[in-house]
Amino acid sequence: MSKTFTEQSTPPSTNIDADGDGMHSVLPYDMVRGLNNLGTYVNPFIHYAQSGSWNSSTGASGLVSVTYTGASTERFMLQIPVVIPFWAVRMAWTVGARGMGATTLNTITMRLSKTPYTGPDGNDGAFNAAGIATGSLTRAVSMSLLTGGAYALADDSSTGITPITSDLYQLVDTNGESKTRAITYAIVTATGGTSATVEVDDVTIWFLPS
């Protein structure tokens, strides 16, 4: 049975460089215990941010972006493997995104899938729902025809994806004796207007018990 530490961390002394002032315990010991407390008693979250910066003149950013020619379609942007807490009932999420240049970003969609997406990359074709596992759940947030490189947040923190059941994850053997981790895949897609260029800057995911 695992142990959970609930003691308060020791505050660092005024001069942590002095011999015997507790630096050895404050940094590698108490700090780890403090993080353990946060991970146990506060809803765990995952934050993904792609490096790069927006250039309003060229539209170049180095972030997760897709450019295509043709009719408005949903395009794959990225997927993140996620460990689900066994007590989780709901996954809330936000995605920061842009419609680059004169084209529009209409919708950001989040999916939870038991297996990774195996369809075409966003630049190679429309998102293929047959490329995710049966039983996956989907939530979409309208971006109100976002254009011009303006940043906006697709916010699904009030509802999220629910209920989280065994259809949404696979149990992974991590200790040679039992299946102790529930792994899922968070898949982000974007739907842009005709011949659109769209971009995802960041993704935040957290779990709720109800």
Note down the domain range covering 58. 45-208
| Domain count within the chain | 1
Q: Give the chain's radius of gyration (CA, Å).
A: 21
Evaluate whether residue 20 is within a structural domain.
no
> What's the pTM value of the predicted model, to 2 decimals?
0.74
Q: Which residue has the tokens 């972030």?
A: 63
Evaluate whether residue 202 is within a structural domain.
yes
Evaluate whether residue 119 is within a structural domain.
yes
User: 147 pLDDT band (50/70/90 cuts)?
Assistant: confident
Evaluate whether residue 105 is within a structural domain.
yes
- Give me the pLDDT at residue 74, please: 96
- Give me the pLDDT at residue 146, please: 85
User: 210 pLDDT band (50/70/90 cuts)?
Assistant: confident
Q: What is the pLDDT of residues 65-101, one digit of tens each?
A: 889 999 999 999 999 998 888 888 999 999 999 888 8
Evaluate whether residue 130 is within a structural domain.
yes
Evaluate whether residue 29 is within a structural domain.
no
| pLDDT at 113 exceeding the cut of 90 | yes
CATH code at position 191: 2.60.120.660
Evaluate whether residue 139 is within a structural domain.
yes
Evaluate whether residue 8 is within a structural domain.
no
